[in-house]
Chain A
Amino acid sequence: MASMAERPDLKVDLGRGLHLRSPVIVASGTFGYGFDAPQVDRAALGAIVSKGTTLRPHEGNAPIRIAETPSGMLNAIGLQNPGVDHVAHVYAPQWATWDLPVIVNVAGDSVDEYVAVARRLNGVPGVAGLELNISCPNVQSGLQFGVDPVLAAEVTHAVRAVTELPLIVKLTPNVTDIVAVARAVEDAGADAVSAINTYVGMAIDVRRRRPIISRGSGGLSGAAIKPLALHAVWQLAAEVHIPVVGVGGIMTPGDALEFLLAGATAVQLGTVNYVRPQAAAEIHDGIAAYMVQHGLTDMRALPIRSVSVLTHV
C-alpha cells in the first residue's frame, strides 16, 4: 500500500469541466442508474454511466436477451429504460447529493429524439455529462448513426447545440473505419469519445435449431473482445485530439493498464461488474500501484506513445 506522500494522483480530465477523481468508470448498461450493486466500492470510481435513456419509456426486447459465449456474452436488451422524464425527476435529484458524477447515456432513433433527450437533461442538477450511444438504428435511413461519419456528425452537432454538458460520443466498432467516425464527431463538437460499444454477434442453439437470442443477433462484450477494443483505442488515440475513454473486455488491472498505455484517458468497466463487483476497486488500486512502481505522478504520463490530448475547457 502506497503511503500518503507517494499516493499517485489518479485524476483525469474528460473536457468541459468533467474532472474525475479516478480513471475507473462503470459502463452503460452494466450499473443501472447507479442505485444497485452496493457491492461496488464507490470510492474507486471516477464516474457512473447510466443505462441508455430514451425520450419515452421502453419495455425492451422479448426474452431471451442474453447468452454466454466463449469468454464473453451476447446481449439484446432493447434499451429497456424508464424514459428521460423519470430520469430527470426521480434519479437526477438523488445523484445531485452524491460525490460521484453520473453521466447519462442517451439513445434514440432520430436526431430529434437525441436532441429532445439532451435538451431535457441540460441544466438538470445531478447530471454531470452525456454519453451519446450512436449504435442505435436511425428510423429514417435504417443505418446506425455510428456507422456513417455524416450521420454521426449530424447527431453530435445537433446535440452539441442544445447542451452545455460535457459530451462524450460512444463509438460502435461495427464499422470499417472507426477513426473516420471519431474525427467526424470531434469536428462536430464532441468533448471526448468512448470506444467501444459491443460487437454484433450471435449464437445458435443447435439442438433447437434457432438463434439463442430471440432477436437473432446481440452485442458481444467481455474478455473476448478486449484485443479488438484495445486496437480501436490505439488507433483512435493517435488520430483524435480529444480524450478517448477505453472500454471493452476489461477484467483486471492489467487490462485497464493496457488501455491507458495505448492512450486512453480513462477506462470503463462493463461485463466485469456482473461477475466480480470488487473489480473496480482492484483496478483502481492496481493502476495506483503501477504508477508508484514506475515513479509516475500524473495519469498523463501513462501512454507509451506521445499523444496530444487537448481537452475542451
Chain B
Amino acid sequence: MSIAVAPAVVLERSVPMAGAVELVLSHPPSAVAVGPGQFFQLAVSAPHTILRRPYSAAWSDPAGGRIGFIFNVVGTGSAWLAARDEGDELDLLGPLGRGFDLEGQRPAICVAGGLGVAVFPGVVQALIARGRNVIVLQGARTAAQLLPASRFPGADVHVATDDGSAGHRGSVVDLFSNLGEGQSGGIDILTCGPTPMLTALIDVAHRQAIPLSDIQVALETPMGCGIGTCLGCAAPRAAGGYFLTCQDGPCVRADRIEWELMTDGFHG
C-alpha cells in the first residue's frame, strides 16, 4: 500500500439519506488496498480555502475500480464537494492512517451516530466476508437521516432516532446499553460518531464492565496534513501526552484515549 496524490473522476453522485451526499469515484490505482476505516485527504478548490478535507472511504472496490465517500455539508469544503458532478475530477491523497482491526472471530457490534455511519458500509462488508456475526446500531435525528439497512447486507441492523420516527426513540447508546447488558466480554465494538455519543458509550462500557480495549473508535479531529508532519491532529493519550489521529488513528482502541480530556472538537 502506498500513499499517493492521485486524480479520481466522479462516476456517480447520489443522496443516500437526507442531508448527505455519496460520491462514487474511480479508484485511485495507488490505493489498491484501502483498509476499512482508513481515510483520504480530498483537495477542495473552494474560494479562500487552503487545506484538504479528511474523509473516510465509506467503501472501496478496487477490483471494480470504484470507491465511495458519504458526507454531509457542514461548511465551505463539504459544500464544494457536494456540488461535484459526474465527470468532475477530484484530487485524493491517501489512503491514510490506521483502519479498524478486524482480526478475530467474535461477534462485532458497530455503533454509529449521525454521519459516523459513513465509515461503516465497507467495515461491515469486510467483517461479514470474514464470516463474523455483525450487529449494526445506527442513530440519527430522524428516520430520513438513517442510511438504509440495505447498505449492510448480512448484518442485523437496529436503529434509534431522536424523534422516534424510526426504531427506538432516543440515542443509539441506549440501544447499545440494552443490547450489551449481559454480553460483557466476548464482543468487538467498533464505533464512530460525535464526541458526546462516544463518551456516553464509554460510560456504558464502564458500567457494564466491558473492557475498553474491546472498543475501537474512529476518531475525528481537525487535520492539517493527514500524514504526520503538522502535529495538528493531536488527541489525548491515556498514558499521557498526545497521539496523532492521522497516524496512530483514526481508528484507535478506546483504552488508549484519555477520555477525561477528549474535547468536543466540532459537534458542540
Contacts and interface: CB of A to CB of B under 8 A. Distances in A.
Interface of A: 29-32, 36-39, 51, 59-68, 70-73, 75, 77, 80, 207-208, 214, 222-224, 271, 273-278
22 contacts: A29-B230, A29-B231, A30-B230, A36-B227, A36-B228, A36-B229, A39-B4, A62-B236, A63-B242, A64-B222, A65-B234, A66-B222, A68-B49, A70-B48, A73-B50, A73-B224, A75-B224, A222-B50, A273-B229, A275-B43, A277-B5, A277-B93
Contacts of A29: 230-231
Contacts of B52: 274-275
Size bracket of the B interface: 20 to 34
Given A64-B265, A274-B225, 7 more contacts: A62-B234, A63-B263, A64-B221, A64-B263, A66-B232, A71-B48, A275-B50
A62 B261 contact: yes
B3 interface: yes
Contacts of A59: 240-242
B3 A38 contact: yes
A66 B263 CA distance: 14
B268 interface: yes
B117 to A, nearest CB: 24
Nearest to A274: B225
A273 B52 CA distance: 11
A75 B222 CA distance: 11
B50 A223 contact: yes
A77 to B, nearest CB: 5
A207 B265 CA distance: 13
A63 B234 contact: yes
Interface string B153-192: 0000000000000000000000000000000000000000
Interface of B: 2-5, 43, 48-52, 93, 221-236, 240-242, 261, 263, 265, 268
A218 to B, nearest CB: 10
B221 A63 contact: yes
Consensus secondary structure, chain A interface = loop
Contact of B231 (A77, A208, A222, A273): A77
Question: 5 smallest A-B Cβ distances: which pairs?
Answer: A66-B232, A274-B225, A59-B241, A70-B48, A32-B229
Contacts of B261: 62
A66 B51 CA distance: 11
A73 B227 CA distance: 17
Contacts of B221: 63-64
A59 B4 CA distance: 29
Contact of A66 (B224, B227, B235, B241): B224
Nearest to A223: B50
B234 A80 contact: yes
A77 B242 CA distance: 11
Contacts of A32: 228-229
B74 to A, nearest CB: 12
Given A59-B242, A60-B242, A274-B51, A65 B231 contact: yes
Contacts of B227: 36-37, 39, 274
Contacts of B225: 30, 37, 273-274
Q: Which of B51, B231, B235 has the most CB of A within 10 A?
A: B231
B228 A208 contact: no
B229 A37 contact: yes
Given A64-B263, A65-B232, A73 B51 contact: yes
Q: Which of B51, B232, B268 has the most CB of A within 10 A?
A: B232
A77 B48 contact: no
A33 B233 CA distance: 17
Contact of A271 (B49, B50, B240, B268): B50
Contacts of B233: 65-66
A72 B48 CA distance: 8
Contacts of B224: 66, 73, 75, 274
A278 B5 CA distance: 8
A214 B51 CA distance: 19
Contacts of B49: 68, 71
Contacts of A31: 229
Nearest to A224: B50
B51 A75 contact: no
Contacts of B222: 63-67
A75 B50 contact: no
A36 B96 CA distance: 12
A169 B49 CA distance: 31
Nearest to A33: B229
A30 B229 contact: yes
Given A36-B227, A37-B229, A278-B5, A207 B242 contact: no
A67 B240 CA distance: 24
A80 B229 contact: no
Contacts of A63: 221-222, 234-236, 242, 263, 265
